Amino acid sequence: MLDVGEAGDDPKGQDMVTRLQSITPASLVSAVDLFCGAGGLTHGLLRAGIKVEAGIDLDAQMRHAYEKNNPGVRFLCWDLSRKNCRSIKKLFRHGAIRLLAGCAPCKPFSKLTNGVENHEDWDLLDNFGRFVRGILPELVTMENVPELADRGKPVFDRFIETLERCRYRLDQRIVLCPEYGVPQARKRLVVLASRLGEISVPDGRYRDPGRWKTVRQTIAGLHRLEAGEQDPRDRLHGAPLLSPTNLKRIRATPHDGGTRHSWPDALVLECHKKKSGERYHSIYGRMWWDKPAPTMTTLCTGIGNGRFGHPEQDRSITLREAAMFQSFPRGYEFWPPKEKVNRSAISRMIGNAVPPNLAEVVGRAIMDHVSAHQVLSKRQSR
């Protein structure tokens, strides 16, 4: 059992009605983004009208992307495992409804690490729960990989138990990102919790697969590239150089959803000839033009890491394309202009990000929830 930590507000929420009655629409929600990365969650919350005060991440490489694209929001390079609740609590704007938001790094819970409990990031969700207990913000949202509720079940159960013991009403759901305007077949676990009243994870507007945004709609207008070529107008739109053998492989892969199963035997890797290699059918595959992209990972610009081949051009996708599949705006700047692009760092930023379009839908649901309870509290006080 985790320790209780520092005391937050009155757990019975006796000052909640007073707080709701005193705030104005322009200052409804004040948020702090934990494990903020390059700012995908913050960017979506800002678009929803939420005032994000600060983003916190241990990785200093995230600072430029976070601050450049989210003007007026501070980036704090903090190790949250070493911070107390007071240091987070003082970041919120006085008198506003507080939202503690975040996406703890998902490596411990992903399929790639098989949920090993000795992973260095395993306790980060516990720290999130510690801040919830110590601050008692009116609102909490947490987003992560779906496997958290399975492979990470003990730590996830502790987090949910913390919310329930602190008198939150909560909802949790595994959502499909294309339903929220993200051109990517990504599934995410979303948790919403409120001490104001009942709250629900919102439905996406695009429940019909025929309305999902596709690869074609997302990247067809970008500059055409050969493997190893760079768009002179966009440093992130550069196709990685392929080895002569991999160039032969992508050329032998049929356009629009083709796979390695069409290759001549001479190009097939030995590991894929074994029974155990049959399940990796998407490796070296091309995307489909008229479907959403596959899930973007931290290695999504390498054709040997998944179905990350361009649907038509003989190359893997670029960093810019990967970012757009995550629903980042076309001009989102990930790296300082005067510094050499660090492809691996940017790939990590993109693959680990909360899709801004998903974050915006969640943010709008939060704003609607607060507004509704503000109106209700005023009626009750008459």
> Which residues are annotated as catalytic?
106
CA gap 328, 350 in Å, rounded: 9
Report the first-to-last Cα separation within the chain, whole angstroms: 43
**Do residues 263 and 276 touch, judged by C-beta distance below 8 A?**
no
Residue given tokens 């499909």 in the structure block: 176
245, burial (CB in 10 Å: exposed 0-12, middle 13-18, buried 19+)? exposed
Q: Give the Cβ contact number of residue 217 at 10 Å.
A: 13
φ and ψ at residue 33, rounded to 5 degrees: -105, 110
Identify the CA nearest to 303 among candidates 182, 325, 224, 311: 311
Question: DSSP characters for 330-350?
Answer: TT---S-TTS---HHHHHHHH
Q: Work out the widest C-alpha separation in the chain, in whole angstroms.
A: 80
**H-helix segments, 228-318:** 244-251, 270-273
Close Cβ partners of 149 (under 8 Å, ≥ 6 residues apart): 156, 172, 174, 189
CA gap 317, 14 in Å, rounded: 53
Identify the CA nearest to 29 among candidates 377, 370, 372: 370
Question: DSSP characters for 107-129?
Answer: GGGSTTTTT-TT-TTTTHHHHHH
